[in-house]
Structure 1
Amino acid sequence: MPLFINRDQIFAHQVHLLEHKLRSKEERILELETENAILHLRLAECLGKLRRDHEKETKALQHHLQQRNAQKITRSALAKLLSEVQAVKQDLSELFAVYLSFSTELEEQRKQLLDKVQQASCSLKGDRGEEAQDLQAVVSALERSLEEERERCRAERQRRKELHNTLVELRGNIRVHCRVRPVLPFDHVPSSTPGSWPALSEEVVSTVSDDTVMVNCIKPGMPVHNKMYEFERVHGPEESQDAVFEEVKPLLTSLLDGYNVCIMAYGQTGSGKTHTMMGSQLLEEHSGGQPGAQQGIIPKATAEFFRMISEKPADSHTVEVSVMEVYNNEVLDLLAKDAQGNPAEQRCDVITTSNGASQVIALKYQPVRDASEVMQILSRVLKLRAHCPTLVHPDSSRSHLIVTLTISSKSPNALALARRLQSAKKDMQLAAQKEWWSPRCRRANLVARKSSEDHLFASTASSPSRSPSHSPCSSPRPSVSQALFKTKLQLVDLAGSESVGMSGVSGAALWEVSCINRSLSALSDVLGALAEQRPHVPYRNSKLTHLLQDAIGGDAKLLVMLCVSPTQRYVTESLQSLGFGTRARQVQKELPRRKGNPLKVK
């Protein structure tokens, strides 16, 4: 019997299957359209972000170009001013040569006049008073002309000082230099997980130009981010000690012009602070080693300073040295000795005088005459400085070292000339004493001679001419005084600024690290208060800032030498040092005023 096939059921089933497939396709189409819309939204967001990043980069590039143009204009102005300073120096040298020739000619004329006075005193009897008066009038005229030449020389010298100070002000009263040391053997530390990224010995700090340093901030899983820091001068690993000192040398001229100068090295342990300040061959040079270019700022600055003093008149400057360290927030005098002559740590207190200067009570000052004496003292007392091994360096300095050169200067204008005029007046007085002699005059002459021997100078403003009706006795009271003023050159080697975790110390050494970090934090707070021009600057929060009060604020010249390690291992400490230097550059100090107030010397 044939099977009965219901075609309608078959067709209905096929239609049902096709409708099911159609619904599935339509659902798939809706899903794809939704995904397409989401992708379009993401594409629009990416395009907007790229457009914003491009605008930011364009603005940053324009700002950088503007800064570059401003720097070029400033450098051209500095170059022009430097050429003017050099021209003034040349004029001063020519004027000094004329001054020497005029002094020599005046000396010869003085001798001739004295010979004529002696001849006239022996040959003439009646008109001796008139002849002596004429000769004294000629001497007076010569003294007045000499005084005019001295005034011209003083004005030119003052102009040179003003130009030099203007040049230093344009470059900044607080200058921040950065020095990136080369990679050293102790930087290569084997990693606990070989092949880990990034490597601890990888160089991440590099110099871009002579005023810009770049830090590659590398973090696992994050893109590389470069940070740029600009300072007045950046020294790369290849630059020598001489190149570093050439940027420091102009500050010594300001020191002789009457301004306090401070040079400090800031950075973590092992970043090259002591190498920059002292050099690596300080002790070897005094023990027969070869004096090379590895000398640091302290020996080079000392040698240059005494060279500049040697060009001044004799006995116009006296220099004293003191060496201190700030250890555990205590000021210790490294030059102090006990009764047996052995070195002893003498604690000193710091006070602030009425004129705002810091003064250390019971601090020992040792007079020095040349740079070799200073270096001998330093090579002896540096052994007394506190040291402790850490994970960063086996011989880490745990105190702030402060070497101070105190310069007492007196007026260089009239010292040598006053002695010659004093001798001439004595000769004239002895010649005239034979004519106008009396017991009263003799007593006055003895008093005047004793007074002049005590003071070692005579009046150049008063005229030596006398009339026969007056006594030729000179006044025992001098009218020219030698005004003394003191300036300080402070050379500071700060302790390491690394954290406790980086140093790896424990026990009693934790207190040392805590005191170091608190004193450096106080130094940063002082610079921040100066930058924000707060009415109160917290100098007394630390013995370090209290000791350096007249070197950081006021009219002093401050140079901060940032010493930075180049490797990834110390990138945190390097960023902290660079941030400290950036804050120091923001300080706007008041206009410098030359120290002209005489100090009372006992």
Structure 2
Amino acid sequence: MPLFINRDQIFAHQVHLLEHKLRSKEERILELETENAILHLRLAECLGKLRRDQEEESKALNHQHQRDAQNITQTALAKLLSQVQAVKQDLSEVFAVYVSFATELEEQSKKLLEKVEQASSSLNGHHGDEVQNLQARVAALERSLEEEKERCGAERQRRKELHNTLVELRGNIRVHCRVRPVLPFDHIQSSSSGSGPASSEEVVYAISDDTVMVNCLKTGMPVQNKMFEYERVHGPEDSQDAVFEEVKPLLTSLLDGYNVCIMAYGQTGSGKTHTMMGSQPLEEHSRTQQEAQQGIIPKAAAELFRLISEKPAESHTVEVSVMEVYNNEVFDLLAKDEQGKAAGQRRDVITTSSGTSEVTSLTYEPVCSTSEVMQIILSVLKLRAHCPTLVHTDSSRSHLIVTLTISSKSPNALALARRLQSAKKDMQRSPQKEWWSPRCRRANPAARHSSDELFASTASSPCPSPSHSPCPSPRHSISQTPFRTKLQLVDLAGSECVGMSGVSGAALWEVSCINRSLSALSDVLGALAEQRPHVPYRNSKLTHLLQDSIGGDAKLLVMLCVSPTQRFITESLQSLGLGTRARQVQKELPRRKNNTLKVK
């Protein structure tokens, strides 16, 4: 008989077994939860006991520290108390000495007062005439002192006139030459044959204080000596101080109302930057040695501030600006970018209505000492364009122009008289012009007078009222307009040709711009030497920028820096030739100063 399995019963039995297992598991879970709760209680009890132990230990440590601090404090107080007692004892002794001295001083004062009374009574009785004589002598000495002060002022004014006359007699454009010593980079392999002259052979000599001799050596030809004469020639042995001593007189003219420009001209490696800026010696050198290595720029700034210190306080203010002319563009090296960092920005050069050149939006920094001037200059020198050439590994490819502008709060009457006389001579030369001074350009033929009558009296001016007129009278100009002069110190770029520099590619444009600007400078000097009616200042940004310091009655000193060796003889002859051309410039004879001009 077959067995039939009831599946429902089987499933019911399995469900029963699973429910039994589930109940056993739940009971086990309850047991574990109970054990877990018991363990948590025991852990809490252990933590509480541990915390109480720690608190007791910290309290014990605090009590111990407090006891130690109390002991230290008590010891210190005991020492302080003993010191206070000693000080009190010393004070009592000092007070006793003071009382004794005060008593003695009072007695001595009484005795002295008695003696003074006796002496005054005796003087009143017997020496009254001597006192009156002494008073009269004091008054006479005071009057003599006032007279000497007035005489000193007159002599000081006379010295200014004589100094300016002396500088003008020497020539408003002066040319100095400096021959540098032979340097290591002069000794190179000569490309010519062995019978020709060696490139490192010395051929340029300073044979006297005013003469340079050049030996022109050519293969198979006799030696030809060329002589060049200048106002002053410095040999390789001359120091920086000796070079500056010949430059120093120009700075006195600066404060007397003349613009002054000092520029270094020559090829790369001829010593222009060393002459203008100087070299920085090692830190262990003394201060005297560091000053001896300074160039014309720091020494000129120091001399300028020394001269200003001799003037009345706050009568002069000085501002510095630094520019470079690179690729015939003017860049302001003191201009700041958006982050406040120095970044050269392009500027334009314009000619004002008065005929002077001006750089638009140029940055000026006020300075009060030489250190401030040099700190500003050195901070922006890294912005100057440089490029390695065959002559020098760090050749400057731009013209650096440092300008010190001096503003005088009390303008010099003689300087104004000089400018009025200059305007008078301009009118005499060009009578067809319809203005009586550079500041008045009104075309009014009925108001024009003769030049003699015009400058003989300020009342003859065609302008009716200084307060409403565009051309104020000289007296009004003196009292209202500040007087400004400029000292421009120029380190020109190298004047060598492209073949000597050995550059290529984009650097060729730099060399081309440098040579064109230097050629424009030579053309300006040539036009002045030949007294042409038109001087081409605007052919280059360099000459346009330096127009006020080259033309007119400004004082210009050209420092020719030349190399002594055969390797650079072509560039040396070119530099010496430009100096000879500049010496041919003949300006007007020194004008007699009008000492009768009075300023009220």
- Write the letter of the residue equivalent to 1:500: V
- Write the letter of the residue equivalent to 2:523: D
Match of 2:513 in 1: 515
Whether the 8 Å CA contact 2:411–2:482 is kept in 1: the answer is no
Deviation at 1:285, TM superposition (A): 10
Find the residue that maps to 1:262 and give its secondary structure: strand
Quick one: distance in 1 between partners of 2:271 and 2:351?
32
Match of 1:237 in 2: 236
Whether the 8 Å CA contact 1:553–1:589 is kept in 2: the answer is no
Match of 1:575 in 2: 573
- Residue number among 549, 560, 563 corresponding to 1:562 in the alignment: 560
- Write the letter of the residue equivalent to 1:326: V
Quick one: distance in 2 between partners of 1:595 and 1:400?
39
Quick one: distance in 1 between partners of 2:580 and 2:373?
33
| 1:438-587 alignment, distance < 5 Å | 481=479, 484-587=482-585
Find the residue that maps to 1:219 and give its secondary structure: coil
| 1:401-440 alignment, distance < 5 Å | 401-411=400-410
Whether the 8 Å CA contact 1:398–1:516 is kept in 2: the answer is yes
| 1:120-139 alignment, distance < 5 Å | none
| 1:307-456 alignment, distance < 5 Å | 307-411=306-410
- Write the letter of the residue equivalent to 2:556: L
Deviation at 1:590, TM superposition (A): 2.7
Whether the 8 Å CA contact 1:212–1:228 is kept in 2: the answer is yes
Quick one: distance in 2 between partners of 1:226 and 1:289?
40
- Write the letter of the residue equivalent to 2:488: Q
1:362–1:177 CA distance, 2 compared to 1 (3 A):
same
Match of 2:96 in 1: none
1:536–1:479 CA distance, 2 compared to 1 (3 A):
closer
Quick one: distance in 2 between partners of 1:582 and 1:155?
39
186-195 vs 244-253, greater mean Cα deviation = 186-195
349-358 vs 323-332, greater mean Cα deviation = 349-358
Which ranges in structure 1 are unaligned for 5 or more consecutive residues? 1-143, 415-477, 597-602
Whether the 8 Å CA contact 2:254–2:260 is kept in 1: the answer is yes
Whether the 8 Å CA contact 2:169–2:590 is kept in 1: the answer is no
Whether the 8 Å CA contact 1:410–1:482 is kept in 2: the answer is no
Superposed CA offset, 1:554-574 (max 9, x none): 010000000000000000000
- Write the letter of the residue equivalent to 2:300: A
Find the residue that maps to 1:209 and give its secondary structure: coil
How does the TM-score come out when normalised to structure 1?
Answer: 0.61
Find the residue that maps to 1:537 and give its secondary structure: coil
Quick one: distance in 1 between partners of 2:299 and 2:589?
28
1:413–1:182 CA distance, 2 compared to 1 (3 A):
closer
Find the residue that maps to 2:292 and give its secondary structure: coil
Deviation at 1:392, TM superposition (A): 0.5
Quick one: distance in 1 between partners of 2:363 and 2:171?
33
1:518–1:249 CA distance, 2 compared to 1 (3 A):
same
Superposed CA offset, 1:149-175 (max 9, x none): 887555433311110111112221111
Larger Rg: 2
1:591–1:409 CA distance, 2 compared to 1 (3 A):
farther
Determine what percentage of the aligned residue pairs are the same residue: 85
Deviation at 1:384, TM superposition (A): 0.7
1:157–1:374 CA distance, 2 compared to 1 (3 A):
same
How does the TM-score come out when normalised to structure 2?
Answer: 0.61
Match of 2:157 in 1: 158
Match of 2:472 in 1: none
- Write the letter of the residue equivalent to 1:238: E
Quick one: distance in 2 between partners of 1:558 and 1:326?
19
Quick one: distance in 1 between partners of 2:383 and 2:478?
46
1:362–1:543 CA distance, 2 compared to 1 (3 A):
same
1:412–1:526 CA distance, 2 compared to 1 (3 A):
closer
Deviation at 1:483, TM superposition (A): 5.3
Match of 1:199 in 2: 198
Match of 1:184 in 2: 183
1:348–1:151 CA distance, 2 compared to 1 (3 A):
farther
Quick one: distance in 1 between partners of 2:477 and 2:199?
71
Which ranges in structure 2 are unaligned for 5 or more consecutive residues? 1-142, 414-475, 596-600
Deviation at 1:242, TM superposition (A): 0.4
Whether the 8 Å CA contact 2:266–2:575 is kept in 1: the answer is yes
Match of 1:589 in 2: 587
Deviation at 1:307, TM superposition (A): 1.0
